Amino acid sequence: MKAIFTLGLGLLSAAQALPSARAAASSTVDGTRFSIDGKTGYFAGTNSYWIGFLTNNQDIDTTLDHIATSGLKILRVWGFNDVNTKPGAGTVWFQLLSSSGSQINTGADGLERLDYVVQSAEKRGVKLIINFVNFWDDYGGMNAYVKAFGGSKESWYTNANAQAQYKKYIQAVVSRYAKSDAVFAWELANEPRCKGCSTDVIYKWATDISAYIRSLDSSHMITLGDEGFGLPGDTTYPYQYTEGTDFVKNLGIKDLDFGTFHMYPDSWGVPYSFGEGWIKSHAAACKAAGKPCLLEEYGANASCDIQKPWQQSSLALAADGMSGDLFWQWGDQLSSGQTHNDGNTVYYGSELATCLVTDHIKAIEAAS
């Protein structure tokens, strides 16, 4: 999902230590299901692209308190924030991309912000999906690499200089949290696409990068982060291969532990009724591959009536390929005010949260 939200740098806590060293990862796969802290089953979660850019530690703690007490177990966060020009004081950024020499910001307005998110998640038992780059231009993404190293988004996957720096960034992030039990999975990218490309381009790139991540961290899970485009079952746009992805083929990549797919009927020009078949098609593909499926993003006008049936469809396939869903996106009240409302935001304490969070968690528990 594309997202735009800007925060300045506020007061930082004196406690900025890295996450504590832990033993083996507590989030794994068990056939076509996830296992978290020794419990195998179906798990609910959400997305918060903005939490790693917050500069008030109490806001991070409050958000994660609300997520944890709501019963949500998995939180997907942006592990990237790329720029081509160093911002002024007070702006959070993680990586400066330049052909004359890139820089990874490990300071108080850089990866220390993500450090605190990981620390806070550890204390509350929330598991994080951390991704490394955005297909979209928000927070730099692939476009920031293109500005620094040339080419296009389509050639980014094979641009040697861009990929070399991308791997350096991955190494910097993974090395910080490889021993943290707060990490659910590493994610290659947010919604990678390669319009008009052979599906071999993303397939080969994902094979290489997932193997590289595995060489850095053999404990935590790895996933692609794609929208699930390209698979048999229908002729509508999302099932086609025009965006350069082949869901079934990518599931076969050895070092990818589970499949991801997203769902935005409004953006894709399909009816809301499309959702049930989309979920079933992916569940069947995951079951055939022997890997879990995660409905990683979904949204539709912040509507209970539209989205609740999707949750029900996914949960109904808990024994047949589906193992979790993460709605887009979490909303909360921070010291600086209400978080970004993109039209799909589900705010803590709202009637919509009762439907899509509280009632959903009860349904999952009842089905366990």
190 closest CA partner among 80, 106, 96: 80
Task: Give the C-alpha separation, 288 to 285, whole Å.
Answer: 5
Catalytic residues: 191, 297
Instruction: Please count the helices (runs of H) and the strands (runs of E) in the chain.
Output: 12, 18
Where helices occur in the chain by DSSP H, the ranges are 57-69, 111-124, 141-149, 153-156, 160-177, 199-216, 247-251, 265-268, 274-289, 304-316, 351-353, 359-367
CB 160 within 8 A of CB 168: no
Tokens read off for 282: 């992916």
**124, amino acid identity:** R
**What backbone torsions phi and psi does residue 348 show, to the nearest 5 degrees?**
-55, 130
**What backbone torsions phi and psi does residue 82 show, to the nearest 5 degrees?**
-95, 140
Provide the edge-to-edge strand list for the sheet that holds 27-30.
Answer: 27-30, 33-36, 39-41
Omega of the bond prior to 333 within 30 degrees of 0, cis? no
CB 262 within 8 A of CB 296: yes
Residue 260 bridge partners (DSSP): 294
The SS3 of residue 44 is: strand
CB 127 within 8 A of CB 118: no
